[in-house]
Amino acid sequence: MNFIIPDEEIEITAIRAQGAGGQNINKVSNAAHLRFDIRASSLPEPVKSRLLTMRDHRISVTQGAIIIKAQRTRSLEKNREDAIARLHALINRAASEPTPRKPTRPTPASVRKRIENKVQRGRIKTLRGKVDT
């Protein structure tokens, strides 16, 4: 499911990139810093709630914002496109509803194998006890 995000909801600022790069890195701001406010966006409510509950380091739960720093390329425009593509990928991942888990029962063979392993571990642990002479 692709969502059209208005440009007014995405805030992109140019910042200096980290890492090696020689003199160019000290003069040119070519990394893109994208900020997207989830709560104030035009996304549907289920997608917003799934985004806010996702365990992703790019999502600030307290502020309710997605913060993406793109600095893969040396071009500001390509970094801007990369940040927007990563934002779309994150939103599309949250847009798909998770399939509900169907509870299953363990097979008799797996139960038997688990108990045999527990008995074997118990035997090993009893051998660790004090030795009577």
State pLDDT tens for residues 65-108: 999 999 988 888 999 999 999 999 999 998 888 899 999 999 99
For residue 26, pLDDT over 70 is answered with: no
Categorize the per-residue pLDDT at 19 as very low, low, confident or very high, splitting at 50, 70 and 90. confident
pLDDT (0 to 100) of residue 113: 98
% residues pLDDT > 90 (the chain): 48
Q: Tell me the C-alpha distance between 3 and 91, whole Å.
A: 8
Q: In the β-sheet with 59-60, what is the strand arrangement from edge to edge?
A: 10-15, 31-37, 65-70, 59-60
User: What tokens appear for 43 in the block?
Assistant: 């996304």
Instruction: Give 49-75 as a DSSP string.
Output: HHHHHS--TTEETTTTEEEEEE-SSS-
Any idea which residue has 């793109």 for tokens? 70
Q: Quick one: pLDDT band at residue 25, thresholds 50, 70, 90?
A: low
Residue 63 identity (one-letter amino acid): Q
Q: Name which residue leads in pLDDT, 83 or 19.
A: 83
Question: Quick one: pLDDT at residue 81?
Answer: 95
- Spatial distance between the Cα atoms of 59 and 64, rounded to a whole number of angstroms: 7
pLDDT value at residue 117: 98
Residues 20-35 have a mean pLDDT of: 78
What are the tens digits of pLDDT across the range 49-60? Answer: 999 988 888 988
What span, in angstroms and rounded, lies between the C-alpha atoms of 23 and 111?
65
All domains in the chain, ordered by first residue: 7-95 (3.30.160.20)
